[in-house]
Protein backbone atom coordinates (compact mmCIF):
# COMPACT_ATOMS: atom_id res chain seq x y z
CA UNK A 1 0.00 0.00 0.00
CA UNK A 2 1.24 3.49 -0.84
CA UNK A 3 1.41 5.48 2.41
CA UNK A 4 2.37 9.16 2.52
CA UNK A 5 3.23 10.91 5.76
CA UNK A 6 3.33 14.69 6.17
CA UNK A 7 5.51 16.20 8.88
CA UNK A 8 7.97 14.57 11.24
CA UNK A 9 5.68 12.83 13.74
CA UNK A 10 7.42 9.62 14.76
CA UNK A 11 4.17 7.80 15.48
CA UNK A 12 2.98 8.42 11.91
CA UNK A 13 6.23 7.00 10.55
CA UNK A 14 5.66 3.83 12.53
CA UNK A 15 2.00 3.67 11.47
CA UNK A 16 3.13 3.97 7.86
CA UNK A 17 5.46 0.98 8.28
CA UNK A 18 2.59 -1.15 9.51
CA UNK A 19 0.16 0.02 6.82
CA UNK A 20 2.60 -0.63 3.96
CA UNK A 21 2.34 -4.31 4.80
CA UNK A 22 -1.45 -4.26 4.31
CA UNK A 23 -3.01 -5.21 0.97
CA UNK A 24 -6.05 -3.11 0.00
CA UNK A 25 -6.74 -3.17 -3.77
CA UNK A 26 -9.52 -0.57 -3.49
CA UNK A 27 -7.22 2.00 -1.85
CA UNK A 28 -4.66 3.79 -4.02
CA UNK A 29 -2.93 5.77 -1.25
CA UNK A 30 -3.18 6.67 2.42
CA UNK A 31 -2.22 10.19 3.53
CA UNK A 32 -1.26 10.51 7.20
CA UNK A 33 -1.46 14.13 8.35
CA UNK A 34 -0.13 15.42 11.71
CA UNK A 35 -2.03 15.22 14.98
CA UNK A 36 -3.51 17.82 15.30
CA UNK A 37 -3.62 18.46 11.57
CA UNK A 38 -3.64 22.27 11.69
CA UNK A 39 -2.99 24.68 14.53
CA UNK A 40 -3.76 27.89 12.68
CA UNK A 41 -6.51 26.62 10.37
CA UNK A 42 -4.44 27.37 7.28
CA UNK A 43 -1.24 25.32 7.32
CA UNK A 44 -0.58 21.68 8.05
CA UNK A 45 0.96 21.55 11.53
CA UNK A 46 4.74 21.81 11.57
CA UNK A 47 4.97 22.65 7.87
CA UNK A 48 4.56 25.52 5.43
CA UNK A 49 2.07 23.50 3.37
CA UNK A 50 -1.30 25.15 2.89
CA UNK A 51 -3.99 22.75 4.07
CA UNK A 52 -6.51 23.67 1.36
CA UNK A 53 -3.91 23.14 -1.38
CA UNK A 54 -3.04 19.70 -0.06
CA UNK A 55 -6.66 18.63 0.25
CA UNK A 56 -7.47 19.86 -3.26
CA UNK A 57 -4.89 17.45 -4.67
CA UNK A 58 -6.51 14.31 -3.24
CA UNK A 59 -8.34 11.97 -5.61
CA UNK A 60 -11.01 9.29 -5.38
CA UNK A 61 -9.76 6.01 -3.94
CA UNK A 62 -7.33 7.74 -1.60
CA UNK A 63 -7.64 7.82 2.19
CA UNK A 64 -7.06 10.96 4.23
CA UNK A 65 -6.21 10.47 7.91
CA UNK A 66 -6.41 13.70 9.87
CA UNK A 67 -7.23 15.07 13.31
CA UNK A 68 -9.63 17.87 14.12
CA UNK A 69 -10.67 19.12 10.68
CA UNK A 70 -14.09 20.73 10.32
CA UNK A 71 -16.89 19.10 8.32
CA UNK A 72 -16.75 21.90 5.76
CA UNK A 73 -13.26 20.77 4.76
CA UNK A 74 -14.04 17.06 4.72
CA UNK A 75 -17.40 17.07 2.90
CA UNK A 76 -15.98 18.04 -0.54
CA UNK A 77 -13.46 15.20 -0.25
CA UNK A 78 -16.19 12.64 0.30
CA UNK A 79 -18.00 14.00 -2.76
CA UNK A 80 -14.86 13.28 -4.80
CA UNK A 81 -14.62 9.72 -3.50
CA UNK A 82 -11.86 10.35 -0.96
CA UNK A 83 -12.25 8.26 2.21
CA UNK A 84 -11.76 10.49 5.24
CA UNK A 85 -10.85 9.42 8.75
CA UNK A 86 -10.77 12.12 11.40
CA UNK A 87 -9.11 10.47 14.39
CA UNK A 88 -10.65 13.03 16.75
CA UNK A 89 -14.02 11.37 16.03
CA UNK A 90 -12.83 7.77 16.34
CA UNK A 91 -13.93 6.63 19.81
CA UNK A 92 -11.64 3.60 19.93
CA UNK A 93 -8.62 5.67 18.91
CA UNK A 94 -9.46 8.39 21.46
CA UNK A 95 -9.70 5.77 24.23
CA UNK A 96 -6.30 4.32 23.30
CA UNK A 97 -4.82 7.82 23.22
CA UNK A 98 -6.20 8.56 26.69
CA UNK A 99 -4.63 5.39 28.05
CA UNK A 100 -1.22 6.19 26.54
CA UNK A 101 -1.41 9.79 27.77
CA UNK A 102 -2.21 8.65 31.31
CA UNK A 103 0.53 6.02 31.24
CA UNK A 104 3.04 8.57 29.91
CA UNK A 105 2.09 10.97 32.69
CA UNK A 106 2.69 8.34 35.36
CA UNK A 107 6.05 7.51 33.77
CA UNK A 108 6.97 11.21 33.71
CA UNK A 109 6.08 11.67 37.38
CA UNK A 110 8.06 8.63 38.48
CA UNK A 111 11.08 9.50 36.34
CA UNK A 112 11.23 13.07 37.63
CA UNK A 113 10.59 12.41 41.32
CA UNK A 114 12.33 10.80 44.27
CA UNK A 115 9.23 9.32 45.87
CA UNK A 116 6.91 6.46 45.10
CA UNK A 117 3.33 7.26 44.16
CA UNK A 118 2.23 5.90 47.53
CA UNK A 119 3.98 8.90 49.11
CA UNK A 120 2.27 11.47 46.89
CA UNK A 121 -1.04 13.25 46.85
CA UNK A 122 -1.90 14.16 43.27
CA UNK A 123 -4.72 16.38 42.10
CA UNK A 124 -6.39 16.01 38.71
CA UNK A 125 -8.51 18.73 37.13
CA UNK A 126 -11.17 17.20 34.87
CA UNK A 127 -12.32 13.59 34.79
CA UNK A 128 -12.90 13.01 31.10
CA UNK A 129 -11.21 10.09 29.39
CA UNK A 130 -7.66 11.12 30.31
CA UNK A 131 -8.48 12.29 33.83
CA UNK A 132 -10.50 9.19 34.69
CA UNK A 133 -7.87 6.84 33.24
CA UNK A 134 -5.07 8.65 35.07
CA UNK A 135 -7.03 8.54 38.32
CA UNK A 136 -7.52 4.78 38.06
CA UNK A 137 -3.80 4.25 37.41
CA UNK A 138 -2.73 6.40 40.34
CA UNK A 139 -5.12 4.68 42.72
CA UNK A 140 -4.06 1.23 41.50
CA UNK A 141 -0.41 2.15 42.18
CA UNK A 142 -1.14 3.32 45.70
CA UNK A 143 -1.30 7.05 45.09
CA UNK A 144 -3.74 9.42 46.76
CA UNK A 145 -5.92 11.16 44.18
CA UNK A 146 -7.91 14.36 44.61
CA UNK A 147 -10.20 15.03 41.65
CA UNK A 148 -11.71 18.35 40.66
CA UNK A 149 -14.74 17.86 38.46
CA UNK A 150 -17.85 19.53 37.22
CA UNK A 151 -19.85 16.31 37.57
CA UNK A 152 -20.32 13.39 39.97
CA UNK A 153 -17.82 10.52 39.81
CA UNK A 154 -19.25 7.76 41.99
CA UNK A 155 -17.07 5.03 40.52
CA UNK A 156 -13.84 6.85 41.26
CA UNK A 157 -15.12 7.81 44.72
CA UNK A 158 -15.72 4.13 45.45
CA UNK A 159 -12.13 3.37 44.45
CA UNK A 160 -10.78 5.81 47.02
CA UNK A 161 -10.49 9.14 45.21
CA UNK A 162 -11.59 12.38 46.86
CA UNK A 163 -13.84 14.16 44.36
CA UNK A 164 -14.47 17.90 44.69
CA UNK A 165 -16.11 20.53 42.52
CA UNK A 166 -14.13 23.03 40.47
CA UNK A 167 -14.97 25.69 43.04
CA UNK A 168 -12.62 24.06 45.54
CA UNK A 169 -9.67 25.24 43.45
CA UNK A 170 -10.65 28.81 44.31
CA UNK A 171 -11.68 28.30 47.92
CA UNK A 172 -8.65 26.16 48.74
CA UNK A 173 -10.78 23.69 50.67
CA UNK A 174 -8.71 20.59 49.94
CA UNK A 175 -5.56 18.96 51.38
CA UNK A 176 -2.09 20.13 50.22
CA UNK A 177 -1.03 18.56 46.92
CA UNK A 178 2.35 17.45 45.64
CA UNK A 179 1.29 17.61 42.00
CA UNK A 180 -1.71 19.10 40.19
CA UNK A 181 -2.46 17.86 36.67
CA UNK A 182 -4.86 19.73 34.39
CA UNK A 183 -6.71 17.63 31.82
CA UNK A 184 -9.59 20.08 31.24
CA UNK A 185 -9.41 22.05 27.98
CA UNK A 186 -10.72 25.19 29.64
CA UNK A 187 -9.29 27.81 32.04
CA UNK A 188 -10.17 26.33 35.43
CA UNK A 189 -7.11 27.51 37.38
CA UNK A 190 -6.77 31.17 38.29
CA UNK A 191 -4.08 33.21 40.00
CA UNK A 192 -3.25 33.55 42.79
CA UNK A 193 -3.21 29.87 43.64
CA UNK A 194 -4.75 28.73 46.96
CA UNK A 195 -2.47 27.69 49.83
CA UNK A 196 -2.76 23.89 49.23
CA UNK A 197 -1.02 24.41 45.86
CA UNK A 198 1.84 26.54 47.21
CA UNK A 199 4.43 23.78 46.79
CA UNK A 200 2.74 21.73 44.07
CA UNK A 201 4.22 20.99 40.68
CA UNK A 202 1.60 21.88 38.08
CA UNK A 203 1.38 19.91 34.84
CA UNK A 204 -0.70 20.80 31.78
CA UNK A 205 -1.98 17.89 29.69
CA UNK A 206 -4.88 19.55 27.88
CA UNK A 207 -4.38 21.31 24.57
CA UNK A 208 -4.55 25.08 24.42
CA UNK A 209 -3.49 27.74 26.92
CA UNK A 210 -5.62 26.83 29.92
CA UNK A 211 -3.28 27.89 32.71
CA UNK A 212 -2.42 31.59 33.19
CA UNK A 213 1.19 32.43 32.29
CA UNK A 214 1.83 33.83 35.77
CA UNK A 215 1.32 30.34 37.23
CA UNK A 216 4.53 28.28 36.83
CA UNK A 217 3.70 25.00 35.11
CA UNK A 218 5.00 22.35 32.73
CA UNK A 219 3.20 21.52 29.50
CA UNK A 220 3.33 17.94 28.22
CA UNK A 221 1.71 18.04 24.78
CA UNK A 222 1.30 14.95 22.60
CA UNK A 223 2.49 12.54 25.29
CA UNK A 224 1.58 9.37 23.35
CA UNK A 225 3.91 10.40 20.51
CA UNK A 226 6.69 11.45 22.88
CA UNK A 227 6.54 8.60 25.39
CA UNK A 228 5.36 5.63 23.31
CA UNK A 229 5.66 6.46 19.59
CA UNK A 230 5.42 2.84 18.45
CA UNK A 231 2.30 2.13 20.50
CA UNK A 232 0.79 5.44 19.40
CA UNK A 233 1.61 4.59 15.78
CA UNK A 234 0.01 1.19 16.13
CA UNK A 235 -3.18 2.88 17.37
CA UNK A 236 -3.22 5.06 14.25
CA UNK A 237 -2.66 2.06 11.96
CA UNK A 238 -5.45 0.10 13.66
CA UNK A 239 -7.86 3.01 13.17
CA UNK A 240 -7.02 3.17 9.46
CA UNK A 241 -7.45 -0.57 9.01
CA UNK A 242 -10.88 -0.39 10.62
CA UNK A 243 -11.86 1.97 7.81
CA UNK A 244 -10.29 0.31 4.78
CA UNK A 245 -10.86 -3.36 5.56
pLDDT tens digits along 94-113: 999 999 999 999 999 998 77
* CATH code that applies to domain 97-224: 3.40.50.720
pLDDT at 148: 93
Q: Round the average pLDDT of the chain to a whole number and report it.
A: 90
Q: Is the pLDDT of residue 156 over 70?
A: no
Count Cα atoms within 13 angstroms, Cβ side, for 163: 20
The residue ranges of every structural domain in the chain are 3-89, 97-224
Which residues touch 135 (CB under 8 Å, ≥6 apart)?
124, 127, 145, 147, 156, 159, 161
pLDDT at 186: 85
pLDDT tens digits along 22-65: 766 777 899 999 999 998 899 999 999 999 999 999 998 999 99
Integer Cα distance of 84 and 89 in angstroms: 11
- pTM of the complete model: 0.89
Amino acid sequence: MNVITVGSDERLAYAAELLREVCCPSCTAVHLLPIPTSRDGEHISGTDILLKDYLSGLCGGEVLVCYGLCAEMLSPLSDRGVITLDLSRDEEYIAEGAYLTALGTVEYILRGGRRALSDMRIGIVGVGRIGACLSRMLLALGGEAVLFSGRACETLCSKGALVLGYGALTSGEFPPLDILINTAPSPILTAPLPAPLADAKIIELASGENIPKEIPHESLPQLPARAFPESAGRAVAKAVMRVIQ
